[in-house]
Amino acid sequence: MGKQSSGKKVILNAVIYSCSGLLLKCVSFFLLPLYTIYLTTEDYGITSIVGTFNGTMCYVVSFSLFSAVTRFYVELKEDPEKLKRFYGTICTFVFLSGLTFGGLFTIFRGALSKYVFSGLDFYPVILICIISLIFNCEYTIYDMILKSQQKAMKSSIISIVFFFISLALNILFIVVLQMGATGSLLATLISYVLYTAYFLTEMSLQKTIHFCIDWGLLKDALKYSIPIMPHNLSTHLALLISKIMIGGTASLSGLGVYTVAAQFGNVADTIQGYVSRAYSPWLFENLHDREGYYKARIRKITNLMSSVVGLFMLGIALFAQDYIVLFVDAAYIDAWRYVPLIVINYIIKIAYYFYVQILFYYKKASKMLFIATVSGSLINIVLSYFMIPAWGVYGSIIADWIAMIIRVGIVIGVSKMFEDVGLRVWDTVKNMLFIGVFVLGGMVFSYLKFGNTFSIGNFVYKIVVVLVYVAVLFARYHKELLEYIRGIKKGRSRKEQLQ
């Protein structure tokens, strides 16, 4: 059995990605009280709109070529010269595309300011946003290169260094120079530029990239990535439209409060994203090699990872209230009420991450991703149009739930059309209900009794809920966990014997 197919590699990489991601998120949360003092709720609204706009337009500027980086590495890794040209082609094309779109956004800056950025002036906010978009795309390409090669440790170390450089710049511009939202956006821009300079230099020195435009490779990559664009773009587009609506209904200040809550909710998605990045290349190699009982192996690893991700989500949903009430500026205190509801949306999304990788593997299936994402996003936009004016942020969250359920259902159905890789729908439903019951049970007293006050009794109760979850999780998967631990010990023993 191949070393990648054992399942140990994917679990190890998932642990590395999750731990590094949690480290960075924890540092961000420790600094949240500081930021909420120096950034007004309106500042948070501005940075939220800019961040979501860049996240959305990244897929347009890059034509979703990030996805091609992971998929084509499996086929090109045995041909180093061709792989170099592939990387160079992707980086060069995306940079030129970024310059082109940047010029178009500058020409139509009036419409951009009016319909997206709530009347903000072009200089400096929108200009910084446009320049950041170009380098954000390059940053994402290198990140996907490392993850496709399963270099989890290197990717995590670089991400940590990048984060602390960005952090230092944020403290300089926001706290010391008190530049508000402009300072935060400027810090992000400088960080992206430094990161891009590093990875281009590093790959050039190691001779792992050849800058060119190989039209044959580019054509094949675009044939794969362009059909994925609706899939990648629609989700982010729905989020952008929702934030624009919230900003228009509740003002940028209301959007700022929601953004603080979304930061907690996004941790859940970030962790799942790290797990997915470790899972994706592992799944691709299992489907490529098809060694042994690969379907049973895929099902076992998927169920275990879903439950472990659920533990992180449970912790975020339960303890966000205590942190916000105790440490965050009073102007943002109501943000905790949104967090558990936002996390529920990501609990529904767990299954999506695992099933969608099947569609990414089959090139023909990847062209059908838009059915799920576009359908879900259109429903989200329509529901948001009616619900946000009536119920504000809660309307947006409910629209997210409904759209995500539809999206997950379609992805599961489409994936089954191509191959049954061992995943079961009933496993998916059980996992969602299992995690959701603990989230709702853990927050019952927070909503009904304690509200915007901290209670030691309620805090202890939530700890007990988490411990019960862990106990149930261990009872369900203790054989797999013990087997994995024994595997690590055997690996260490072999290394010691060789030394």
Identify the CA nearest to 346 among candidates 469, 436, 244.
436
What pLDDT is stored for residue 9 in this prediction? 65
- Domain membership of residue 179 (yes or no) is yes
The stretches in the chain having pLDDT less than 70 are 1-11, 14, 18, 21-22, 25-26, 29, 119, 247-252, 363-367, 369, 480-481, 483-499
- Domain membership of residue 495 (yes or no) is no
Give tens-digit pLDDT for 10-26: 667 767 776 776 677 66
- Domain membership of residue 494 (yes or no) is no
187 close to 172: Cβ distance less than 8 angstroms: yes
Whose tokens are 């950034």? That residue is: 39
- Domain membership of residue 493 (yes or no) is no
Residue 316, domain extent: 4-486
- Domain membership of residue 496 (yes or no) is no
- Domain membership of residue 48 (yes or no) is yes
- Domain membership of residue 315 (yes or no) is yes
Whose tokens are 């109501």? That residue is: 334
Chain centroid to Cα 30, Å, comes to: 20
Give tens-digit pLDDT for 187-225: 999 999 998 999 889 888 988 888 899 999 999 999 988
What pLDDT is stored for residue 265 in this prediction? 78
What pLDDT is stored for residue 4 in this prediction? 41
Q: Is 328 left (phi over 0), alpha (psi -120 to 50) or beta?
A: beta
What pLDDT is stored for residue 254 in this prediction? 75
User: What DSSP string runs through 120-181?
Assistant: --IIIIIHHHHHHHHHHHHHHHHHHHHHHTT-HHHHHHHHHHHHHHHHHHHIIIIIIS--HH
Could you give the number of structural domains in the chain? Answer: 1
- Domain membership of residue 156 (yes or no) is yes
- Amino acid letter, 207: K
235: exposed, middle or buried (Cβ count in 10 Å: 0-12, 13-18, 19+): buried
pTM of the model: 0.71
